[in-house]
Amino acid sequence: MSLETQAERFIETLKALGGSAGNGSLSAQLGWADSTYQRVKAHLIEAGKIVPGRGRGGSVALANNKPAPKAKTEPARKTVERSRSKIDKGTNSGGGNYAQAFNAIDKAMRNDEGLASELDYAEQTSWLLFLKYLDDMEHEWADEAALKGKTYTPILAKPYRWQDWAAPKTSDGKPDPNARTGSDLIDFVNGKLVPHLKSFKDSSVDADSLQYKIGEIFSEVANRFRSGYTLRDVLQIVDTLSFGSSEAKHELSDLYETRIKRMGNAGRNGGEYYTPRPLIRAMIQVLQPQIGETIYDGACGSAGFLCEAWEHLRRADLSAKDWDTLQRKTFYGQEKKSLAYVLGVMNMILHGIDAPNIRHANTLSENVMDIQQKDRHDIVLANPPFGGGERPEVQQNFPIRSSETAYLFLQHFIRKLKAGGRAAIVIKNTFLSNTDNASVELRRELLASCNLHTVLDCPSGTFQGAGVKTVVLFFEKGAPTRKTWYYQLDPARSLGKTNPLNDADLAEFVALQKTKASGEKSWTVEVADVDAATCDLSVKNPHVAEAAPQRTPQQIIDDMLARDAETAKLLAQVRAML
């Protein structure tokens, strides 16, 4: 079926529904795969034949019809927050109770002796969700091919398809009682399925293709289920989840983000897997990415920055060309750690990006002097790992050598930006004041090659479990820094697991940053006033009285000895009186 024929059927069905309808109900009436529906809808919007509406899941109306119902006209962010609240309470408008399903998966996993932590739960849930997603997408792609009169060649064939081993059905559509379970299931997964999926990495396919990503993922994750009975229970639950609509993906993505957050909070370093989403959203609002620009995170972890940027850019009225640009030519990431890489790929898929451009690689192994114009990006958003340390041969890839991983990443990000490119980078606040050679030289390079226009000082507790204070550096490449605007974020409460950072905490920062106005929590520093020898950029609020300088260890000891001497003198006087 040609695109024009599909468009005619779309219009006819919409007319039959009264000239306007929700995307979910219209898609169900048409019986198309979600990707087909989105493509035809974008084509008709671009042609001016239909107009998008608002609300949960979105709606459309004929261009000459009355506008789609505006029952839900509040800001999109509030709509999303309310829908997330519904998910947390266990409700679901997508046809299956996803919150209950995730809870049931957790409960089943706790019974398996091979799974012991939130990290295990996240990893095992991820590879199972990925294979279920792949199966759903294979059905969609087959439907699309049939509409075009073509034959679809599936990525997975028997016996590795989901319906062959994970959820086989009888002729009447019920679960097959003879499906593998117990040791038979574990033996099949470990001995046949995973090795077969790993082999995709060895095939001669492009590194950005979905086939290669399948091989990459299963080269890094392993089945940790020890009981085939527990695995069978989990498979039956996962099989109830559907990726067939954008609404379903949205709800699943919210639940998956919650799982990543729990995993981050359970780890020794929460920031390694989870950056607070309100902070990410504020960073994106300052940079204001546009469709057609590329966005890069070289330490993408679970891809929180890329997913939030996707949510910022996607709209119901996107043309087919813009939709394709967002899907394939906008978001790029790299991640060194295996689990984080898998989480990132799955997180982007659940947010609606079918084949994420995330590579499993050590970003710092690339010599920054070899970066060419074709490798550069318009926007960099990142929260690189703190501390750590790379081997000497890796440090040789950077003009300013340092054992601090974040300093190497910052050099990489500066060189990854196009001229005029914009960046927002989270880094430890000590970067602004450390006096070691690497810190001073890196600050000097940043000021000379980029316009460091904004520094956001984050309060303690912004990152759960991190134990360090951080700042966000906002800069634009191509012109030296003349002055820098500082904002000291103060939510007026102690941040913690039960009282995390929220969007309201950052609203004033986002509003004031546009004009860089001065106030009790904001001020501007001229670079000409910065000490040229140290390039000290410390956060020093001029509107707050400076705290008394801390005493040196020697001063503390001298004070203690002086008090001891005074005490001894008083005791001697008391003794003389006895």
Is the pLDDT at 86 greater than 90, yes or no? no
Quote the mean pLDDT of the chain. Answer: 85
CB-CB contact of 251 with 91 (8 Å): no
pLDDT at 76: 36
Distance of CA 127 to the CA centre of its chain: 18
pLDDT at 289: 97
DSSP bridge partners of 522: 487, 519
Q: Which of 193-207, 399-413, 414-428, 530-544 has the lowest mean pLDDT?
A: 193-207
Is the pLDDT at 538 greater than 90, yes or no? yes
- 148-177 pLDDT tens trace: 888 999 999 999 999 999 999 988 888 898
**Residues for the chain: how many in total?**
578
At residue 549 the predicted structure's pLDDT band, cuts being 50, 70 and 90, is low
Q: Which of 73-87, 354-368, 403-417, 476-490 has the lowest mean pLDDT?
A: 73-87
pLDDT at 515: 95
At residue 89 the predicted structure's pLDDT band, cuts being 50, 70 and 90, is very low
Percentage of residues of the chain with pLDDT beyond 70: 87
Q: Which residue has the higher pLDDT, 82 or 520?
A: 520
- Structure tokens belonging to residue 299: 């330490």
In the block, which residue shows the tokens 């000891």? 557
Candidates 299, 291, 345; CA nearest to 126 is 345
pLDDT at 259: 77
pLDDT at 58: 67
The Cα–Cα gap between 51 and 63 comes to 6
The Cα–Cα gap between 131 and 235 comes to 11
E strands present in 432-508: 450-457, 470-477, 483-488
Is the pLDDT at 546 greater than 80, yes or no? no
- Name 364's Cβ contacts closer than 8 Å, sequence gap at least 6: 336, 390, 394, 397, 398, 405, 408, 409, 412
Global pTM reads 0.76
pLDDT at 385: 87
pLDDT at 47: 81
pLDDT at 204: 63
How much is the average pLDDT of 210-232?
90
Percentage of residues of the chain with pLDDT beyond 90: 45
- Name 127's Cβ contacts closer than 8 Å, sequence gap at least 6: 217, 218, 221, 223, 342
The Cα–Cα gap between 464 and 182 comes to 39
pLDDT at 203: 62
Is the pLDDT at 192 greater than 60, yes or no? yes
- 115-129 pLDDT tens trace: 988 888 888 998 999
At residue 258 the predicted structure's pLDDT band, cuts being 50, 70 and 90, is confident
* DSSP symbols for 421-469: EEEEEEEEGGGGT--SHHHHHHHHHHHHHEEEEEEEEPPTTSSTTT-S-
Is the pLDDT at 562 greater than 90, yes or no? no
At residue 465 the predicted structure's pLDDT band, cuts being 50, 70 and 90, is low
pLDDT at 237: 93
Q: Which of 89-98, 325-334, 421-430 has the lowest mean pLDDT?
A: 89-98
pLDDT at 23: 77
- Structure tokens belonging to residue 131: 């294979």
Candidates 280, 285, 327; CA nearest to 470 is 280
CB-CB contact of 140 with 134 (8 Å): no
At residue 2 the predicted structure's pLDDT band, cuts being 50, 70 and 90, is low
How much is the average pLDDT of 254-261?
79
- 369-427 pLDDT tens trace: 999 999 999 999 999 988 767 788 888 999 999 988 999 999 999 999 999 999 999 99
